[in-house]
Structure 1
Amino acid sequence: MAKLKSFIKIEGTLDDLTFYKGKEGYLVKTKSGVSAKRIKNDPAFARTRENGAEFGQAATSGKQLRRAILALLTDAKDDLVTSRLTQTMTKVKNADTTSPRGERKVAIGLTTAQGKLALNGFNFNENAILSSVLLSDYTLNTATGAIDIPDFIPQQNLDAPEGATHVSLEAGFLNIDFTTDDKDLQLSPIFNTAINNTITPVVLTPVGVPSGSGNALYFLKVAFFQEINGIQYALNNGAFNALQLIEVL
Structure 2
Amino acid sequence: MAKQVGIIKLKGTIGDLNFYKTKNAGPLARKAGGGFSKDQKKKPVRTMENASEFGRCSKTKKAFKMALAPFLCVRKDGDLHGRMVQLFTRIKDQDRINSRGMRGVGPGVETPRGRQLLKDFEFTPSCNVMETLAASGNFDFTTRSLNISNFDMRNVQFPTGATHLALTLGLLHFDFNSLENQLKSSAPLYLDKSYSANSIEMQVNLPDVAGTAIAVLGLKFYQEVQGTYYLFRSANSVGVENLGVEY
Unaligned runs of 5+ in 1: 2-13, 18-41
Aligned to 1:236, what secondary structure does the other structure show? coil
Question: 5 Å matches for 1:104-119?
Answer: 104-119=103-118
Q: C-alpha distance in 2, partners of 1:236/1:245?
A: 20
CA deviation profile, 1:126-169 (whole Å, cap 9, x unmatched): 3222343221001111124311113532221x232222110001
Q: C-alpha distance in 2, partners of 1:48/1:228?
A: 56
Q: C-alpha distance in 2, partners of 1:160/1:228?
A: 16
| 1:62 alignment counterpart | 61
Structure 1 pair 144/79, CA: closer, same or farther in 2 (3 Å)? farther
| 2:154 alignment counterpart | 155
TM-score by length of 2: 0.78
Q: C-alpha distance in 2, partners of 1:99/1:195?
A: 53
| 1:232 alignment counterpart | 229
| 2:74 alignment counterpart | 75
Partner AA of 1:220 in structure 2: L
Q: C-alpha distance in 1, partners of 2:220/2:43?
A: 51
Contact 1:132–1:159 (CA under 8 A) maintained in structure 2: no
| 2:219 alignment counterpart | 222
Q: C-alpha distance in 2, partners of 1:166/1:99?
A: 49
Aligned to 2:135, what secondary structure does the other structure show? coil
Aligned to 1:221, what secondary structure does the other structure show? strand
Q: C-alpha distance in 2, partners of 1:239/1:94?
A: 32
Q: Which has the larger radius of gyration?
A: 2
Contact 1:175–1:216 (CA under 8 A) maintained in structure 2: yes
How far off is 1:211 after superposition? 1.5
117-126 vs 66-75, which moves further: 117-126
Q: C-alpha distance in 1, partners of 2:176/2:104?
A: 9
Q: C-alpha distance in 2, partners of 1:51/1:222?
A: 37
Aligned to 2:136, what secondary structure does the other structure show? coil
| 1:15 alignment counterpart | 24
1:174 maps to which of 172, 175, 186:
172
Q: C-alpha distance in 2, partners of 1:135/1:56?
A: 39
Aligned to 1:138, what secondary structure does the other structure show? strand
Q: C-alpha distance in 2, partners of 1:113/1:76?
A: 31
For the aligned residue pairs, the C-alpha RMSD in angstroms reads 2.5
Structure 1 pair 135/239, CA: closer, same or farther in 2 (3 Å)? closer
Partner AA of 1:228 in structure 2: V
CA deviation profile, 1:178-235 (whole Å, cap 9, x unmatched): 22121111111211010246225321111x2112221111101111001223321001
| 1:22 alignment counterpart | none
Question: 5 Å matches for 1:13-162?
Answer: 15=24, 44-76=43-75, 78-150=77-149, 152-156=151-155, 158-162=156-160
Contact 2:161–2:223 (CA under 8 A) maintained in structure 1: yes
Contact 1:69–1:185 (CA under 8 A) maintained in structure 2: yes
Q: C-alpha distance in 2, partners of 1:238/1:195?
A: 21
Contact 1:78–1:124 (CA under 8 A) maintained in structure 2: no
| 1:212 alignment counterpart | 209
TM-score by length of 1: 0.77
